[in-house]
């Protein structure tokens, strides 16, 4: 199936849960990946991304100042049979 091979591009959004919602209000990210066919049955892939968490500005009627953005770059390898 040709639709499963080649470059992949994705956008994502997130809402924090638990203790994280005191620090981050929303998150947004971008993922880029590539699947390489090793044969007719097996594919090998790599994926990288960037995720940014926007700082919370209000907490229990108090304006919060100078909270940092939460950012990270996930990396992944994958196989498909």
pLDDT at 63: 62
Find out whether 56 and 23 touch, Cβ atoms under 8 Å.
yes
Query: What is d(CA 2, CA 17) in angstroms, rounded to the nearest whole number?
Result: 38
Pairing status of strand 58-59 against strand 70-72: unpaired
Q: Domain residues of the chain, as ranges? A: 2-80
Query: What is d(CA 22, CA 19) in angstroms, rounded to the nearest whole number?
Result: 6
**Matching residue, tokens 């926007």:** 54
Query: What is d(CA 11, CA 30) in angstroms, rounded to the nearest whole number?
Result: 5
The structure's pTM equals 0.70
pLDDT at 4: 60
pLDDT at 1: 46
pLDDT at 16: 83
Averaged pLDDT, groups of 10, the chain, 81 residues long: 73 86 86 90 92 79 71 91 85
């Amino acid at each position: 199936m040709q639709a499963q091979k080649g470059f992949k591009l994705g956008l994502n959004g997130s809402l924090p849960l638990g203790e994280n919602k005191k620090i981050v209000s929303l998150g947004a990210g971008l993922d880029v990946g590539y699947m390489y066919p090793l044969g007719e049955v097996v594919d090998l892939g790599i994926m990288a991304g960037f995720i940014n968490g926007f700082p919370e500005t209000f907490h229990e009627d108090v304006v919060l100042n100078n909270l940092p953005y939460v950012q990270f770059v996930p990396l992944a390898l994958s196989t498909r049979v």
